[in-house]
Structure 1
Amino acid sequence: MNWDRIFAKMFDQYELNARLLPGLLLLLPPITYLTLLYGATNPIVVGLSSVLATCGGPYFLSSFVRTWGLRAQNRLYRRWDGQPSTLLLRHRDTYLPQQTKLRYHSLVALRLGVAIPSLEEEKQHPVQADEAYMAAADALRPLTNDRKRFPFIFKELVAYGFNRNAYGSRWVGLCVAVATLIASAFHGGILRLQTPYLSSSGLDLAHSLVFLVSLGLSALWCLHFTADTAWFAGVCYAKRLWEALEELSKKPARPPSDAQELRRTHGNLS
């Protein structure tokens, strides 16, 4: 079965890399288990693959991972006190150099027509200030959807989506890896329900590879797919997003009444 062709027809590049690939990592230990211990041409393996492909298995897997990723994202935003794109524009945030941040503030007003609060306005009205920063990001994203013109933004978006979704489903992945490890140990006679409970006589190459993959994925879920990894990917995407302001054309000037209305919409920060 040509899985590459099936995936190419069902998913675009973002869905494939940011959603389906984390899902396949979830299933890598049991896939290794079935392939090495039963054989890729085994009727059970072939039949199971066909059923999963024809009954929407890949789509369900990507949707499952996306759902868990979005749930984790909401928790991460509360932990971080905002989206990375919002945090980078805050006057009180120190991740970006001050001059770079002020230049982005000027470009947001010039290119997007969104009023950015001053430092004092942000101190007095932090919630309304964050709403202005989020409005700027919401206005900028649709302008950077051209993957050929902004290839690095898309790459960082995919990287963030991948790490966020993997982080959100990490406990599922860990449970699957541990369950596969235990199943392989029983299959090879390494673990038994009667004495002797442990034996190394069944540890052949196939079972060793299953152990290696399961242990490696367990370590990956615990040590790599963390909140810090998701944070780093989110900040990289946010930086690329704001860098795109340099490439946008100047937004036509608004009438004074519209500008005043826009400022009132963002919480009357002036």
Structure 2
Amino acid sequence: MSGGDLALRLGLHKLLDPYDLKARYLPGLLVLLPAILCIAVLYGAKSPMAVTLTSVLTACGGPYLLASFVRTWGQHAQDRLFREWGGQPSTILLRHRDEQLPPMTKRRYGELSALKLGIHLPTAEEEAEHPQGADQAYAAAADTLRPLTNDRKTFTFVFKELVAYGFNRNAHGSRWVGLAVALLTIAFSLVHAGMLHGHPPYWTPLDLEPGHASVVIVAAVFCCLWCFHFTARTVKQSGFAYAKRLWEALEKVPKKRASKAGSN
């Protein structure tokens, strides 16, 4: 049973919107995929165990629960990473002491922020004098800009980078659970194959059957993914990519409407 088949069986395309599906459910599916593959290969995709588990998960709101867990783990990881980085990527990029964006680009964003968001972004001198206040201004501008980029057709690249960031952040936050599931899947497969025992002798050298071997190999690959791919560095890269697209969207958002005189 592949991830796509499982998604269709659970009706996830109807239960979850595109962001939830890609940024929250898919990392959770990666966490469970070694175990799902183990059940499908060793017992059969149409076995009573597989059918019962799928039915119970659907009836009990399994997709929503899985997305909720993954989101919580991702948020905890994000809070920790922001502290390590010294702020949100959208804030860091606008700091004059940060060199990822050219000074002229930052000045342009400052002009657009005042024109379209009604928020003044500090100059280099103002930032040097009050760095904390400057960060608050950058954060306020980002918070004001985000809802203006919710149109996925107009701001396609912003949404794509947001999904990529959400996926990597949530996968990073779920990495220890995913690693544990993969290791337990390997252990279970070896026990099922008669190689690993809970009593002496603990290990019996045998040739693994193709089914057991495929499960062990896939689970081992996932162990490597959790340890070496879904890292803080991956999250940082996708986070700054999203932040850059977010500020670029200032060029497209409409100008802030002036308040009518005498209006309440």
Q: TM-score, normalised by structure 1?
A: 0.90
Q: What amino acid maps onto 1:41 in structure 2?
A: K
Q: CA RMSD in A?
A: 1.6
**Corresponding position: 1:238 with 2:240:** no
Q: 1:49-75, CA deviations, whole angstroms, 9 ceiling, x for partnerless residues?
A: 111111111110010000010011111
User: 1:171-207 CA deviation, whole Å, 9 max, x = no partner?
Assistant: 0111111011111111101212345433342501001
One-letter amino acid of the structure 2 residue matched with residue 178 of structure 1: L
1:145 partner SS: coil
Q: How many percent identity over aligned positions?
A: 58
Partner of 2:193: 188
Structure 1 partner of 2:93: 88
What residue in structure 1 maps to residue 35 of structure 2?
A: 30
Q: Map of 1:104-123 to 2, 5 A cutoff?
A: 104-123=109-128
For residues 114 and 193 of structure 1, the distance between their equivalents in structure 2, rounded to whole angstroms, comes to: 65
Partner SS, residue 62 of structure 1:
helix
Which residues in structure 2 correspond to 1:128-207 (within 5 Å)?
Answer: 128-207=133-212
- Amino acid in the other structure paired with 1:162: F
Partner of 1:221: 226
Offset of residue 252 of structure 1:
4.3
State yes or no: 1:4 paired with 2:8: yes
Amino acid at match of 2:127: E
Equivalent pairs counted in the alignment come to 255
1:22-78 CA-to-partner distances (Å, cap 9, x unmatched) read 000010010011000011111111111111111111110010000010011111110
CA separation in 2, counterparts of 1:167 and 1:69? Answer: 7
- Alignment CA distance shift 1:69-1:55 (3 Å): same
Are 1:89 and 1:133, in contact at CA under 8 Å, matched by a contact in 2?
A: yes
Aligned to 1:40: 45
Which of 3-12 and 219-228 deviates more? 3-12
Q: Mind listing any 5+ residue stretches in structure 2 that lack a counterpart?
A: none
Q: Which amino acid aligns with 2:8?
A: D
* Counterpart Cα distance in 2 of 1:37 and 1:200: 20
Secondary structure of 1:249's partner? Answer: coil
Task: Write the distance in 2 (CA, Å) between the matches of 1:109 and 1:185.
Answer: 63
Which secondary structure state, in structure 2, belongs to the residue aligned with residue 114 of structure 1?
coil
Give the CA deviation at 1:249: 3.0
Which residue identity does 2:152 align to in structure 1?
A: R
- Give the distance between the partners of 1:204 and 1:2, measured in 2 at CA: 25
Q: What is the TM-score normalised by the length of structure 2?
A: 0.92
Opposite residue 198 of structure 1, the aligned amino acid is W
Once residues 97 and 13 of structure 1 are traced to their aligned partners in structure 2, the CA distance between those partners, rounded to angstroms, is 34
- Determine helix, strand or coil for the equivalent of 2:171: helix
Whole-angstrom CA distance in 1 between matches of 2:215 and 2:53: 19
Q: Quick one: which amino acid aligns to residue 38 of structure 1? A: Y
More displaced, 60-69 or 109-118?
A: 109-118
Measured in 2, the distance between the counterparts of 1:140 and 1:147 equals 14
* Separation (CA, whole Å) in 2 of partners of 1:202 and 1:235: 47
Tell me, yes or no, if the aligned pair for 1:69 and 1:169 is still in contact at 8 Å.
yes
CA distance in structure 1 between the partners assigned to 2:103 and 2:214 by the alignment: 51
Instruction: Work out whether 1:70 is the aligned partner of 2:75.
Output: yes
Q: Which runs of 4+ in 1 moved over 3 A?
A: 193-197, 252-255
